[in-house]
Amino acid sequence: MKIVIIGAGQVGSLLARELSIEHNITIVETDKEKSTWMRDNYDLLSIQGDGEDPKVLRQAELQNADILLAVTGEDKTNILSTLYAHSYGVKTIVLRMRNPEYMEYINLLKNPNISVVIPGEIISTKLVNLISAPFAWKAETFADEKVELFKLKVEENTDIVNKRLSELGPASSWIFVGVAKKGVIEIPKGDTMLEKGDYVYALGDPGVMKKLKKLFGFRHEIISSTIVVGGGRLGRKAARALIDKGVSVKIIESDESRANIVAEEVPEAHVFLGDATDLETLREVGIEYADYLIALTGDDEKNVFSALLAKNAGVNRTTVLYTKPDYLDVLEAIGIDRAVSVRIAVANEILSLLHIGGIVHVTTVEEGRGEVIEFDIGPDSKIMGIPLRQLPFPDGAIVGVCIRNSKIVIPRGDFVPGLNDRLLVFTLSKSVKKVEEILGL
Amino acid sequence: MSLKVSAYFLGNLLKYLGLVMLVPGICSVIYQEDDLYVFLISGVITSVSGLIMEFSVKSWSDIREVDRKTGFMIVALTWIFASIYGALPYLLYGVFTNPADAFFESVSGFTTTGASVMTDVEIFPHGIMFWRSLTHWLGGMGIIVLAIAVLPRLAVGGMQLMGLESSGPTTEKLTPKIAETAKKLWGVYLLLTVLLIILLDIAGVPIYDAIIHAFGTIATGGFSNHNLSIGYYNSPYVEGIITLFMFLSGINFTLHYFMLRGKISNVYRNSELRFYIIVNVVLISVITLDLWNNIYPTIGESLRFSSFQLLTAYTTAGFSSVDFDTWPTLSKFILVIVMLMGSCAGSTSGAIKSIRILVLIKRGYREILKLIHPKRVIHLRLDGQVIDESAASSISSFVFLYLALFALSSCIVLGVEHVSIVTAISACAATFGGVGPGLEQVGPMQNYAFLTSFTKVYLSFLMILGRLELYAILVLITPSFWRK
C-alpha cells in the first residue's frame, strides 16, 4: 500500500520503521538532518519540505496515496495535509492532534475515513489502566476488553523465583507468551527458568488479575495519596482520573500561569508552584506521606529525576512519561517502576487504526522488539481448519488466546481455528514477517 | 561496524556470482571449446566460498539496519572480492600466469574500464571472452544495485549502499521501495542492451560479437573481442549505432526511465543533460575541424571518427574505431580532458561527472559576481532548485581529491615505470576514470601488459577507487575508521 507520513519525529519515525518493511512509504519532514537520516536508514522515499506546502504534498504524490498519517507535532500542519488528502479522496487518513479544540475542523469535513489521534487522551487512558492494575507494568486491553496483556515483574523473595514455568501449574485462563531477560525478549517454553528481575508477559481475561497477583506474590496495595508532576494537559487529565477514583492528588507545576490554570480546572487537587527536582519542593508537598508519584512533564530528564528523588524519599511506586526510545532499558535498571512512552503509545494506536490486512489491532512491547497481533479469521483465511500443530510457526511466535463465541480459549497444539474466531498472536519482531506470511495477512 | 553483517552480505553475493559464472559455459558448449571446466570450477569455488561466509554468521533475520561503517565495508569488499573471484577463469584457463594480470583484467572488467593486459584477444575461446565482457555488464549498473533488485532482503541498508555504488553526488529514488528502484534501473539497462544487440545484428555484426559489444557499450566498458576494437568492422553504420548508444549510456538512467514513462518535462528541464549535450556538440566540432585540417580529406570522415572517439572518451567506454594516437595534439588533449570529466551522474560512465563540473562552474562564476557586488545574495541553482552550500562544498572537495589523486598516481607511475609523461598521465586518467585505452604506450593499439606487477595492482586499485567515487575506499584506509 502507498502510505504518506507527514513528520519524521518520534512517532513518525517509529511508524516509518514498522511500515516500511511491507509498504511503500513516502515521508515528508521539514528538518533536513532528520530527512536525510530517514533516507539513509529506512527503505522509503524521504522528501524534505514543509507538510503544509501543497507543492511538497503533490511531490509526495499524496493525491494517489492509500493512507495519510499526519503525525507532526504541529496541529495546523496535520490539519492542512489532512485537508489536501480529503479533497483527493485518500481512503484512510489518521492525524495526530495536540489540541482537541481543533476537532471541530475535522468534524466539518464529515468524512468517516478520517481518524483523529489525541496523544493526551491515549496516554491518560493508559495511565488509568495502569492505576487500576498497580502491580502490572503494562496493562493493555484487546478484543473489546475481553483480553488483557499483563507485564509482570519477578520480584525477589517470591515463590516463583528460580522456578520453571511448567512448575507453576496448568492455567486454563491465561498463558505466558513472553519472558524478557535483561531487555532480551523470548517466547517461553515449559523449562524456561524465572529469575529475579525478569519480566513476564501474560495474556488472559481481566478476571485472572487476582490469581496472577497471588502467584507473583504481590501484596494488596491501596493508592491513597498521589503526586502528579507537571500540570500540562496530560497532568490535568491524569489528576482528574485519579480524583474520580477517590485518590487524593497533589500537583507540582513550575510555571506560574499554568499552575493557576490547574488550580482553576482541578479544584479538588492541591496545586504547588515549584520545581519537582528540588527536594525542598517535594518535602513541602509532603513526599513522605505519598505512595505514588507520576511525572508527566514534557521533559524526560525532569520526570526521571523527580521520580528518583521521590523513590529515595520513600515513595512506593513511580511512573514516568518518556519519549526517547533509548531510555527504556535504563529506566527499569535505575528503579523507575513504570515508564510510559508517548511515541509507542501513539504509534500503536495509529497502527491499530490502519486495519491493514485483516489485522484488528497491533501492539508493540519492549520498544518494538515484540508485538501482539490481533486478527479475525475470515472466510478466506489461510489457516482455517488446520490444527495449530501443523502450521509452520517459527520459534519466535506463539498463538496466545482465541476468542470463540465471546469466550476465551487458550489454544493447544490440537486447536483448530474456525470461522469468526479472533486470535491474539504474540511474536518477536524478527518473526513478524514469517507469522504474517503464515496467517496470510 | 559489523564484520558479520558484511560477511553475510558478501557471502550471499558470491553465492550468486558463482552461478553467474556458469553462463559463459553456454558459449563453451555452443562453440565446442575446451574451457567449460574453467567455469564449472570457478563457479563452484565462488559459490562455496559464499556459502561458507553466509553460514559462518548467525541468522540475518534480526538485522534491520546496517550502520554507516558497515555500509562502506560491504560496498568496498563486494567490489574487491568480486574482482578476485572474477579473475579465477583467466587463471584456470591459463590466459595469464601472473595473478596480477588476471586481477587487473577482472577489475578492469567489473569497473567497466576496459583496459586490457591481453596482447592478442583473438586467440582465446568464446567462453573466456564472454566472461570478460559479462563482468562489464554486471559492473555497469552496479553489482549491489543488481543484488538489491534480485534479492530484496539485501535492501536493509536503505539508500546508503546504493548511493555509494551509484555514480554522482546524489542518488534519486524513483519509488519508495529501494528494490523497486533498483529493478526499474536494471530494467532500463537491460532494455538498452537488448535494443543494441538487435540493431548491431541487423547491421550484420554476428550475434556473439553483437552481445560482446553491447555489454561493452551500455556499461561504458570498452572490451572488444577484436584487436582492432570497433575498427575491425570498418563500418560507418556500426560506428554510428555504437556512438548513439554510448551517448545514451552517458545519460542519467533515471532520465531514461522518465522518458519511457512519458515524463518529458523532467528530462527537458535537466541542466546536466543540457550541459552534456552542449559539451558534446562543441568538442566534436572542434575535433572535426582539427582532423579535417590535418588528417582526413573530407569533413564527413572527420566527423565520423571525431564523434566516435570523443564519445568513447567522454562516456569512458574506451572503444576505438581508429588509432587516435596518430591524431593532432589538440584533439588528443581534448580526449584526455573529457576522460577526466566523465558524463552524467547516474549513468554507467566514470570519472568526475558533468553535474559536479557544472556546479563548480556556477560556483566560480558566483565568486566573480561576489567580487563585483560583495553584498549581493546569490544562490547556486540547478534545475531551478537551490543547492545548499554544504552540498556544493562537498562537490569541490570531491573534485579536488579526484585531481590530487590523479596527479599523485601519475607521479607514482612515472616513478616506477620508464614511460613518457603522456603515457603515465593518460594511463592514470584512463584507469581512474574507467575509460581503458590512453595514449602512446597505452594507446588504442597498445595495451597495459608491459607494466610491472606493482603498477598493474596499483592501477587496479585506482580503477576500483574511481568506480566507487573515492569515498567507499578512502574511508577504509583512514585510521579513524578502524579506531574502536
> Greatest CA span in chain A, whole angstroms?
65
- Outline where DSSP puts E strands in A33-91: 45-48, 67-70
Closest residue, chain A, to B178 (C-alpha): A43
Report CB contact under 8 Å: A430, B61: yes
Higher pLDDT, B104 or A349: B104
- Outline where DSSP puts E strands in B301-386: 381-382, 385-386
What DSSP string runs through B444-464?
A: TT--STTS-HHHHHHHHHHHH
Grid cell digits, residue A211: 490469581
| Contact (CB, 8 A) for A279 and A212 | no
Grid cell digits, residue B136: 562489464
CA distances in angstroms from A257 to A20, A231, A282, B71, listed in the order given? 43, 10, 20, 51
User: Would you state the pLDDT for residue A121?
Assistant: 82
CA distances in angstroms from A131 to A200, A225, A344, listed in the order given? 19, 12, 19
User: Would you state the pLDDT for residue A132?
Assistant: 66
- Model confidence pLDDT, tens digit, residues A406-422: 888 888 878 888 888 88
Closest residue, chain A, to B159 (C-alpha): A40
Share of chain A above pLDDT 70, in %: 93
Residue A306: pLDDT band with limits 50, 70, 90:
very high
Report CB contact under 8 Å: A42, B155: no
**What is the spatial distance between Cα B409 and Cα B416, in angstroms, rounded to a whole number?**
11
Asked if A40 reaches chain B (Cβ–Cβ under 8 Å), the answer is: yes
Mean pLDDT (whole number) for A317-321: 88
Among A259, A271, A104, A203, which residue's Cα sits nearest to residue A411?
A203
B169 CB neighbour count, 10 Å cutoff: 17
| Contact (CB, 8 A) for A166 and A190 | yes
Mean pLDDT (whole number) for A312-329: 84
- Looking at the complex, report in whole angstroms how far the Cα of residue B138 sits from the nearest Cα belonging to chain A: 24
Mean pLDDT (whole number) for A13-35: 89
Grid cell digits, residue B7: 560477511
User: Would you state the pLDDT for residue A396?
Assistant: 84
Check residue A155 and report its DSSP letter. Answer: -
pLDDT value at A136 more than 70: no
- Looking at the complex, report in whole angstroms how far the Cα of residue A39 sits from the nearest Cα belonging to chain B: 6
Residue in this structure with the C-alpha cell 561503517, named with its chain if needed: B69
Residue in this structure with the C-alpha cell 531477560, named with its chain if needed: A181
State which amino acid sits at residue B473.
I
Q: Which of B59, B60, B61 to mutate to test the interface with A (most CBs of A within 10 A)?
A: B61
Closest residue, chain B, to A430 (C-alpha): B62
Among B87, B7, B89, which residue's Cα sits nearest to residue B49?
B7
pLDDT value at A222 more than 70: no
Question: Highest-confidence range of A108-117, A432-441, B15-24, B262-271, by mean pLDDT?
Answer: B15-24
Closest residue, chain A, to B153 (C-alpha): A21
- H or E element at residue A25: strand A24-29
What DSSP string runs through B289-335?
A: HHHHHHT-SSHHHHHHHHHHHHHHHHTT----SS-GGGS-HHHHHHH
User: Would you state the pLDDT for residue B156?
Assistant: 65
User: Would you state the pLDDT for residue B61?
Assistant: 52
Round the CA-based radius of gyration of chain B to a whole number and report it.
22
| Complex-level ipTM | 0.73
User: Would you state the pLDDT for residue A193?
Assistant: 84
- CB half-sphere exposure, A213, CA atoms < 13 A: 14
User: Would you state the pLDDT for residue B336?
Assistant: 93
Among A349, A297, A305, which residue's Cα sits nearest to residue A330?
A305
Q: Which residues of B409-439 are buried (b: 16+ CB within 10 A; e: fewer)?
A: bbebbbeebebeebbbbbbbbbbbbbbbbbb
Among A361, A319, A311, which residue's Cα sits nearest to residue A340?
A319
B300 CB neighbour count, 10 Å cutoff: 11
Higher pLDDT, A411 or A218: A411
Helix (H, G, I), strand (E, B) or coil at B167: coil
DSSP-derived pairing of the beta strands A114-117 and A147-153:
unpaired
Check residue A193 and report its DSSP letter. Answer: B
- Looking at the complex, report in whole angstroms how far the Cα of residue B158 sits from the nearest Cα belonging to chain A: 5
- H or E element at residue B198: helix B178-202
Q: In B, what residues contact A, Cβ < 8 A? A: 59, 61-62, 64-65, 68, 155-156, 158-160, 163, 173, 175-180, 388
What DSSP string runs through B375-440?
A: T-----EETTEEPPHHHHHHHHHHHHHHHHHHHHHHHHHHHHS---HHHHHHHHHHHHTT----SG
B27 CB neighbour count, 10 Å cutoff: 22
User: Would you state the pLDDT for residue A137?
Assistant: 62
- Looking at the complex, report in whole angstroms how far the Cα of residue A431 sits from the nearest Cα belonging to chain B: 8
Report CB contact under 8 Å: A40, B158: yes
Among B295, B249, B15, which residue's Cα sits nearest to residue B114?
B249
Mean pLDDT (whole number) for A274-279: 89
Q: Name, in order, each residue with C-beta under 8 angstroms of B380's C-beta and a sequence gap of 6 or more.
A: B359, B362, B363, B366, B386, B387, B392
What DSSP string runs through B19-35?
A: HHTTHHHHHHHHTT-TT
**Which residue in A40, A41, A44 is closest to B176 by CB distance?**
A44
| Contact (CB, 8 A) for A398 and A425 | yes
pLDDT of chain B, 484 residues: tens digit per residue: 677 888 888 888 999 999 999 999 999 999 999 999 999 999 999 999 999 988 887 655 555 567 788 888 889 999 999 999 999 999 999 999 999 999 999 999 999 999 999 989 999 999 999 999 999 999 998 888 888 888 776 766 667 788 888 877 777 778 888 888 889 999 999 999 999 999 999 999 999 999 999 999 999 999 999 999 999 999 999 999 999 999 999 999 999 999 998 888 888 888 999 999 999 999 999 999 999 999 999 999 999 999 999 999 999 998 988 888 899 999 999 999 999 999 999 999 989 999 999 999 999 999 999 999 998 888 888 888 888 888 889 999 999 999 999 999 999 999 999 999 999 999 999 999 999 999 999 988 889 999 999 999 999 999 999 999 998 899 999 998 888 7
- Model confidence pLDDT, tens digit, residues A39-94: 888 888 999 999 999 999 999 999 999 999 999 989 999 999 999 999 999 989 99
User: Would you state the pLDDT for residue A280?
Assistant: 87
Report CB contact under 8 Å: B176, A39: no
| Contact (CB, 8 A) for A147 and A422 | no
Higher pLDDT, B358 or A399: B358
pLDDT value at A361 more than 90: no
Tell how far CA B126 is from the center of its chain. 23
Residue A130: pLDDT band with limits 50, 70, 90:
confident
DSSP-derived pairing of the beta strands A270-273 and A248-253:
parallel
Higher pLDDT, A130 or A197: A197
User: Would you state the pLDDT for residue A171?
Assistant: 67
Report CB contact under 8 Å: B64, A2: no
User: Would you state the pLDDT for residue B155?
Assistant: 67
- Looking at the complex, report in whole angstroms how far the Cα of residue B472 sits from the nearest Cα belonging to chain A: 15
